[in-house]
Structure 1
């Protein structure tokens, strides 16, 4: 018995796609077959209507070129074989045809088909290499960042980090949390540029923070250490011809007092959510905002600490410009502060994940930049113990 058409196409999917990289998006083989049959039918129909079907069949020579740009090498070879058969058989069987013309046409068809298959293989090879580079860079970037959530005696920090992984590989969003003798210190930042060079600067800043957060008693001294790390990284990178990098950053210090301190280095402002109120820290820190890390030598004013109210039960939202500068298809920016108005009484985890999901809806699924969002939830001043299985108590995530 004959198998149904869909079963035949499914079998061909498995046969022709076997061994191809699953990481490269390509159309299913059944779709390719349907498209080439439909294109052939259109060309044949037009040829019969115009009275010159053999001449118009030559238009099918361009099909393998389209396949080379979109399909796997095996799919391209399938399209090429189909075009060769459809074009050459009528030409060869046509009575009274010129043999030299037929031979030239046959050579051109075979040459175009071979070039299409070769081009498809080169494209797939390059795309696979790019995917491997993207995956390695993203894995490297995730390796240097601490898994979330993080619980200290002062705060619970939870959040979302999503690298964009476009042609520039990955971006340079960073974050870190350190429980120190002077309270909990939180870093969030964004390295200028993308790619492996940006990850190098990110490693320098995160490494400097992890060391200096436990060494420096003041937040300004900690930020000075981060500034020095960026400058040193640029000094080492300059002989290799790499551009100098700067890093926009926020460093927050939270202890057992009712206020927290912050140093702003050219970064989007944080928001404090308490009760039904949403307050931007920019209203307090406008005069204290400073240039990004790596650019301090360009200004005369030193970096200053700003204090702001951060009572028990409140949440501090930190993010990079991947969230604040996300654009809708019409060009409008994501209205972060307006969206926060409806998210004042949810857990830190739900807050960050709902914001990222809402941003995706706002931008119609288009992610233009890395997105890092942290929610710092002020904890009661009492130790929180893990269950015997290592899981946080449910009320700790409030």
Structure 2
């Protein structure tokens, strides 16, 4: 059973993510389970008069315990089963030879079950440590929200996937460049450490090229080159090549926003009396696949007026499915959250909107998270008081440390 010291050593979010794996049954539950099954088997033995059946059934109890219990609990189950079968030598002396064989079989099964339980727990602990490392690496490249520039306040919810396939590759970033604010949201194909490696390459390239490239297409070309170079190195080690869907936006003091869509879900513009889905042209190919495109990447433009909220998300939200296979109705939920109050403002703050979408998608999917989920909200900031915009968006006290980068 996991010790309390080990539990304190693990980050709280990782313990919650692995809770289903490390929540062992209590000793009382195991004892109750053993007593109940033993009584049932004894009752069957009395009713049928088949002495061999007693040992035959109890021999499998340690195997069941090995699949769900700790090593001490499995050891106790093996001893219990062996001792119960051995007692049949006393109460059923006329079946002594059969009982002796049953004792031997039960003891052997018990030893094998304890060894199997030790292997299972060691394997789960290795997976947990690997997930912990992968998640720490993933979080180290994504700055905590909210993020602030002179033009934009970015807030939202980011929840990485922590399952058998480790973590996914959702990425986001915000950069205040000489050419305005540059925004990136993307999703690396696949999961695991290899996907995080591509995420490192894209994020690093974005943070450097956002200040160097004067045009948005130049910035996207730099990201494309980063993915291509990473795939070339991966091919040398026989790792699969990967692509990245992404949205790259350029926002300055003008009402218009430039965007290059590299195969990513479209943004949504939320405001009283405004359409939800931003009308864009056909999406370009994802990063890493542009060599297959017939022409250069195109730049779309749309208005992003003050007082509205721009929503960006990954397919962990748009492709969340209910148990019956239905897709999460994002636009329907956005329409409900975009209803203005009597004062003409949105009923929810940008952060509350992102959080409610995340909560609703988890409820819609019956609590099953199938992929990384990144939900970002962007609002234009007041140049006279951008720091107050951060505080008002998250309810941060003026005495608390400033969260802006």
The TM-score normalised by the length of structure 1 is: 0.90
Over residues 115-141 of structure 1, what are the superposed CA-to-partner deviations in whole Å (9 max), with x where a residue is unaligned?
011100100000000011011101110
Name the CA distance, whole Å, in 2 between partners of 1:122 and 1:107. 23
The alignment partner of 1:178 has SS state of strand
2:128 is aligned with 1:94: no
Contact 1:212–1:222 (8 Å) recurs in 2: yes
The alignment partner of 2:172 has SS state of strand
Aligned length in residues: 374
- 1:266 match: 263
Structure 1 residue aligned with 2:36, among 35, 38, 41?
38
2:68 is aligned with 1:73: no
Contact 2:89–2:96 (8 Å) recurs in 1: no
- Deviation, 1:25, is 2.7
Name the CA distance, whole Å, in 2 between partners of 1:97 and 1:47. 13
Q: How does 1:278-289 map to 2 (within 5 A)?
A: 278-281=275-278, 283=279, 285-287=280-282, 289=283
Contact 1:276–1:341 (8 Å) recurs in 2: no
Q: How does 1:121-160 map to 2 (within 5 A)?
A: 121-160=118-157
Is the alpha carbon distance of 1:154 and 1:20 closer, same or farther for their aligned partners in structure 2, counting shifts above 3 Å?
closer
Gaps of 5+ in 1: 1-15, 394-398
The alignment partner of 1:241 has SS state of coil
Is the alpha carbon distance of 1:93 and 1:43 closer, same or farther for their aligned partners in structure 2, counting shifts above 3 Å?
closer
* Range with bigger deviation, 336-345 or 118-127: 336-345
Is the alpha carbon distance of 1:301 and 1:18 closer, same or farther for their aligned partners in structure 2, counting shifts above 3 Å?
closer
- Deviation, 1:85, is 1.1
Over residues 20-66 of structure 1, what are the superposed CA-to-partner deviations in whole Å (9 max), with x where a residue is unaligned?
96562321221111111111111111221222355334201111100
Over residues 139-197 of structure 1, what are the superposed CA-to-partner deviations in whole Å (9 max), with x where a residue is unaligned?
11001001100111111100111111111110100000001111111100000011100
- 1:390 match: 401
Over residues 324-347 of structure 1, what are the superposed CA-to-partner deviations in whole Å (9 max), with x where a residue is unaligned?
000001110000011001222121
- Deviation, 1:276, is 4.1
Name the CA distance, whole Å, in 2 between partners of 1:85 and 1:33. 14
Contact 1:175–1:188 (8 Å) recurs in 2: yes
Contact 2:51–2:95 (8 Å) recurs in 1: no
2:110 is aligned with 1:113: yes
Q: How does 1:206-217 map to 2 (within 5 A)?
A: 206-217=203-214
Contact 1:278–1:337 (8 Å) recurs in 2: no
Structure 2 residue aligned with 1:325, among 312, 319, 326?
319
- 1:3 match: none
Q: How does 1:1-398 map to 2 (within 5 A)?
A: 24-53=22-51, 55-99=53-97, 101-281=98-278, 283=279, 285-287=280-282, 289-344=283-338, 345=346, 346-385=348-387, 387=398, 389-391=400-402
- Deviation, 1:19, is 7.3
The alignment partner of 1:308 has SS state of strand
- Deviation, 1:210, is 0.2
Gaps of 5+ in 2: 8-14, 16-21, 339-345, 389-397
Contact 2:276–2:335 (8 Å) recurs in 1: no
Name the CA distance, whole Å, in 2 between partners of 1:92 and 1:111. 21
Name the CA distance, whole Å, in 1 between partners of 2:258 and 2:178. 15
The alignment partner of 1:297 has SS state of helix
The alignment partner of 1:342 has SS state of helix
Name the CA distance, whole Å, in 1 between partners of 2:189 and 2:101. 56
- Deviation, 1:207, is 0.2
